[in-house]
Amino acid sequence: MSKINRQGILDILEGYDKDDITIATLGSHSSLHMFQGAKAEGFRTAVVCEKGREVPYQRFNVADEYIMVDKFSDIVNDDVQQQLRDMNSIVFPHGSFVAYAGLDNIETIFNVPMFGNRDILRWEAERDLERKLMTESGIRIPKKINNPKDIDGTVMVKFPGARGGRGYFVANSPEEFDQKIDAMLKRNWIEEEDIKEAHIEEYVLGCNYCIHYFYSGLKDEVELMGIDSRYESTIDGLVRVPAKDQLDIGADPSYVITGNHPVVMRESLLPQVFEIGDRITETAKELVKPGFNGPLCMQTLVNDNLEVVVFEMSARSDGGTNTFMNGSAYSYLYHGEPLSMGRRMAREIKNGIKENRLDEIIT
């Protein structure tokens, strides 16, 4: 199937009444601050919501319009797309939108203008592309081990589709790798054919910081919007178990994300933070034109050499942005007001309309 025609999207945008734009997204993930922020910037909001999931949008009263669907993936159905276009919608992508709409559909059949670069979403989803972007940026990432036989220290093992940390494991030797693979097969967390897909990387012992940036295409500048840290089950529950019982109760910890804490970093680490943001966005401009537009997140671990090591990235609004719905220490410093990521996105749309440059930030 052929890719979405850029001119087609620009034609749809051209037909929109710019004084009557709707900001729309799927009711999940990080949509609350997108709706709240869009309303604060004067836009109408529309939630595409699976039946039974509407409660937060009603109770927080952030959505003006409800497009109710049987399942989230129906957002790509022709009738839903038509309703969105009829409302002059610009869609804000987030993790659940990408997961439910599906990358292939976003690239080929989703004919609704979206904020950001729809082509870059694949660079987050495919580990080889993600690594290429990070390697070419020259940022510090965990070393990759190509063959399990070469494991000679602590490694983290990941599988495709195991995003969210379920099915990650730690190993210290080739033998332990084999044992844990067997255990994963028995739990049905992986299938036989997944084994060759195992991604093995240096285990970075350090503290977790997920850094949320906003790249403004209009200003050609990266802003630091906030930082969160993950709260993951079962690994974070395990630290509350006495050491002598930990092996019995949690021999195979998982890393399933259940929530986030807002955090700040040591101030002396911030030069690295800005350098990472600048490098990744510059490289993206070359590799996936026009590069990032809007939110991105670099998930990092900071070791005791005070190196910020990036182990994952999000090329759209990350769930950790929910920790600063009313602004973070950094978004306050930057903007002098408590700004959420959603509101920053909506403001970029507003500026794009004002400057007549919407076509530069929409795909």
Binding residues vs ligand AMP (CB under 6 A): 142, 156, 163-165, 168, 201-204, 208, 230, 232, 255, 299, 301, 311-312
The C-alpha atoms of residue 72 and residue 69 are separated, in whole angstroms, by: 7
User: Which residue lies nearer to ligand AMP by CB, 50 or 228?
Assistant: 228
Nearer to ligand AMP, 142 or 217 (CB): 142
Least distance (Å) from ligand AMP to the CB of residue 134?
13
One DSSP character per residue, 18-58 reads TTS-EEEEESSTTHHHHHHHHHHTT-EEEEEEETT--HHHH
Q: How far is the CB of 314 from ligand AMP (least distance, A)?
A: 9
Question: Is the Cβ of residue 50 or residue 318 nearer to ligand AMP in the bound state?
Answer: 318
Relative to beta strand 44-50, strand 65-69 is parallel
Which of 306, 121, 81 has its CA nearest to residue 207? 306
Nearer CB in complex with ligand AMP: 75/200: 200
3-state SS, residue 234: strand
Count Cβ atoms below 10 Å from residue 76 Cβ, excluding itself: 19
Q: How far is the CB of 258 from ligand AMP (least distance, A)?
A: 11
Q: How far is the CB of 235 from ligand AMP (least distance, A)?
A: 7
**Beta strands 144-145; 199-202: pairing state:** antiparallel
Q: How far is the CB of 211 from ligand AMP (least distance, A)?
A: 13
Please identify, using beta-carbon distances, which residue of 203 and 334 lies nearer to ligand AMP.
203
DSSP E strands in 183-252: the ranges are 199-202, 207-216, 221-234
